[in-house]
Structure 1
């Protein structure tokens, strides 16, 4: 897949494209049935800031990908929000709290909505006595392009400065959430 391998600038750009549409605007009344409240946008539209869980899960997977590769990422708008840097690490284990959070989030998601498809096991013809799982599995998937098209139609960019803190400060999204990162 074009997403596999060491996080080169090209692969990272593909991952960032997957995450495009993280911040979505919807009318606040859409959340009434869910009994949820969310941060209102400051453009007097009555819309609120939401996101689909899939984008958080992709962000977590991407953060783990960078951590495993030893690639350091930083938030250009707020250095204190750099969760993939090694802030507040347990020196003994060298394990960033953000990566721990991401692993736990993905663990919960996999248990909550497990893929119950069956994988066949075969003998490896190149290694006598060794077995491997057959990764060619037929499964029904959602139309990811349709999901991304919808979110992009309803998304907003940090440059729009639609988020205001309770104390009246207008902030960049990435100062709150490190989804738009510079990685090196």
Structure 2
């Protein structure tokens, strides 16, 4: 029996509906898989963000517990140049601050003016910590083999040393006293000029040491000139120049922790066996003897 036109129509319609059903199933699967992939991607990002947040939180807690502080002047600010003992002195140089220098000509401040108790104490404060214990002689490996370093004769050992800025303060203090012979006759007696010597050798040495230190550190604090109606040329007054300075309290703390007075049996002459600084001199600073020996 041949199919009628009606039968053919019904069969074609059934076939079309079957294809539409298959296409609809495919769309349903596609629409189901798309949100599933989006959900997986979002979940991965959430996990990544959570892990990063947890890592930063742990890092913050670690820095707080250890007391780590980021220095205001980063270690590479000197172009990667380091001293052999850089790690040892790092606590003293961990923080910097801006400071306005007092550069007025009027006599004021504890370091200026004629001798008086306040002034003497101010200058003595720094040279009191003249000698420090250098804990690692390996920093001095470039020393000639015939040198006999001054080693402390106690359980901690170490080599006796002095920081350059302390030596510079000693030099300034000595030059200042040398300019006031009526007030400091003992300085004149120690550093008196020899016959035919127009410039005392130790003073000349101190001036050049300070010059080298100034040029080495090259303080770039900026001073500007200004006009005054009473002056024919520009002048530099009341400029309140700011300088970048190491935080003084950290330096003082470091010195107090590492200073070793060389009195008594802690420092013995290797050839004579005698104390370099007898305990009877303990009330005085070793600065004058040690600083004046190169005259």
Provide the TM-score with structure 1 as the length reference. 0.77
Partners of 2:246 and 2:150 lie apart in 1 by 28
Q: Which has the higher contact order (CA 8 A, sep 6+)?
A: 1
Partners of 1:85 and 1:176 lie apart in 2 by 9
How many pairs were matched up? 168
Partners of 1:123 and 1:22 lie apart in 2 by 44
Partners of 1:52 and 1:83 lie apart in 2 by 25
- Which residue does 2:184 correspond to in 1? 72
- Which residue does 1:54 correspond to in 2? 165
- Which residue does 1:78 correspond to in 2? none
- Which residue does 2:202 correspond to in 1? 98
Q: By how many angstroms is 1:122 displaced?
A: 1.4
Q: Which moved more, 1:34-43 or 1:113-122?
A: 34-43
Asked if structure 1 preserves the Cα contact closer than 8 Å seen for 2:225 and 2:235, the reply is yes
CA shift in 2, pair 1:55/1:42, >3 Å: same
- Which residue does 2:226 correspond to in 1? 122
Provide the TM-score with structure 2 as the length reference. 0.50
State whether structure 2 residue 290 is matched by structure 1 residue 177.
yes
Q: By how many angstroms is 1:90 displaced?
A: 4.3
CA shift in 2, pair 1:140/1:22, >3 Å: same
State whether structure 2 residue 118 is matched by structure 1 residue 10.
yes
- Which residue does 2:138 correspond to in 1? 32
CA shift in 2, pair 1:156/1:2, >3 Å: same
CA shift in 2, pair 1:15/1:101, >3 Å: same
State whether structure 2 residue 248 is matched by structure 1 residue 144.
yes
Partners of 1:84 and 1:57 lie apart in 2 by 21
Partners of 2:139 and 2:232 lie apart in 1 by 56
CA shift in 2, pair 1:67/1:88, >3 Å: closer
**Unaligned ranges ≥5, structure 1:** 75-81, 180-184
More strand by share: 1
CA deviation map 1:16-72 (0-9, x unaligned):
002221111132x2x414536641011243221111111000000111111122342
Partners of 1:83 and 1:44 lie apart in 2 by 39
| Greater gyration radius | 2
CA RMSD of aligned residues (A): 2.6
- Which residue does 2:194 correspond to in 1? 89
CA shift in 2, pair 1:176/1:36, >3 Å: farther
More helix by share: 2
